[in-house]
Structure 1
Amino acid sequence: MPAPITDEQHRLDREALLDAAEGLFYEQGIQAVGMDLIRTASGLPLKRIYRFFPAKEDLVVAVLERRDRRWRGALAAYVGEVPDPRERVLAVFDWLAAWFAEPGFRGCAWINAHGELGTSSEAVLTEVRTHKQAFHDQIADWTRAAGLPAAEPVLLLAEGAIVTAGITGDPAPARHARAAVAMLLGGA
């Protein structure tokens, strides 16, 4: 009889599974990636994968939830290093520019997931909306502190830059959006 799996091994296996699925989903698309490919990439047997996540949709939601914590956490840490409230708003676009320039950048994982599954998976749609609302709330906090009357123009410039960079493969939209936000800040 095999030894029981420890809590630590359970945690490590779950993280390996999420790492493998996230990489594959982001690189190839959710629908293009089958569970056998995830099994191979994670090194876990399908039976174990399905114990963690009974359906692929559950795995997709878990990947998006974890990515959201990491993505928004990294953005907040970067912006939090900037002391001036107005410069903090501009720092959002500096962070986006660096993200857009990373090897393997393929746009917004939540927009991509929505494009693939948003009309057929209520769970994925809910997770996408949760992420977008949380991003909005971050932007709103920073714009309010900078004296801007509304967060939406800054949010739309950020979202537009993300989509445009994802489509074109060019990080320049972050710079263009930053310049537009600087004009908004100059008028506030």
Structure 2
Amino acid sequence: MDSNKIDKRDEIIQQAYRVFYKEGFHNAGVDLVLKNTGISKRTLYKHFQSKEDLVQAVIEYYSRVSYQALDQFLSKYTSPAQKILGIFDWLRELVDKKHLSGCMAINAKLEYSQKNSGIEAQSCLHFQAGESMFRTFCEEGKLKDPRNTAKQIQITYLGAVITCQADGNSDAAVAAKSVAKMLINASMD
């Protein structure tokens, strides 16, 4: 595949990411995604068989850039417990800087529930990566029952994401961090 095709495909994904994140998947049609880009529908459909294929690619992109940004943010923390709690600091900072419109994977999972198995599967991969990250930190921190503790912390985190989105402020991130700290402390005994 030549680099021009890769560049155009990536350009479409990045544009769709911006539009879908702001407008939602069902509210944003292909015309809105392509508006003012100079990209034709023909070009879009050369790279993606359908809008749903584009949505799936956007969720993969979202997951990749989100975890890269999170990894970079967490690089200033040293211990596994600090990294776990740092994830809630990251969420708070995103909300406070108005850089969060919720979790795109959650939004996709809800909008396409029982409608598109590929999009649902891509969303689940995002959640699995998050749980794996929490589990790794729990294992590195030698917490008891790292699998269960990671699941509890992830549920706390996802609840905070949804609540921050609904409330429009970061209070839930601060409260969820306190809950995560209690879960970590309970797993150290």
Shared topology, TM-score over 0.5? Answer: yes
1:76, distance to aligned residue in structure 2 (A): 2.1
Report what 1:84 is aligned to. 79
What amino acid sits opposite 2:163 in the alignment? T
- Say which of 8, 13, 22 aligns to 2:17: 22
Task: Tell me the alpha carbon deviations over residues 9-40 of structure 1, each in whole angstroms, 9 at most, x when there is no partner.
Answer: 32332222112111111111111111111221
Question: Alignment partner of 2:35: what SS?
Answer: helix
Q: 1:111 to 1:148 in 2, by over 3 A?
A: same
For the pair 1:60 / 2:83, whether they are aligned, the reply is no
Report what 1:152 is aligned to. 151
Report what 1:3 is aligned to. none
- Equivalence map 1:149-188=2 (5 Å): 149=144, 150-187=149-186, 188=188
Equivalents in 1 of 2:157, 2:14: separation in Å?
A: 26
> Could you state the TM-score of these two structures normalised by the residue count of structure 2?
0.90
Q: Which runs of 5+ in 2 are unaligned?
A: none
Equivalents in 2 of 1:68, 1:110: separation in Å?
A: 8
> Could you state the TM-score of these two structures normalised by the residue count of structure 1?
0.90
Equivalents in 2 of 1:91, 1:105: separation in Å?
A: 16
Equivalents in 2 of 1:182, 1:167: separation in Å?
A: 23
Between the aligned residues of both structures, percent identity stands at 26
Q: Which moved more, 1:43-52 or 1:146-155?
A: 146-155
Question: Alignment partner of 2:90: what SS?
Answer: helix
Q: Which moved more, 1:127-136 or 1:32-41?
A: 32-41
Q: 1:148 to 1:41 in 2, by over 3 A?
A: farther
Aligned residues: 183
Equivalents in 1 of 2:184, 2:126: separation in Å?
A: 25
Equivalents in 1 of 2:83, 2:100: separation in Å?
A: 23
Alpha carbons 1:82, 1:91 under 8 Å: kept: yes
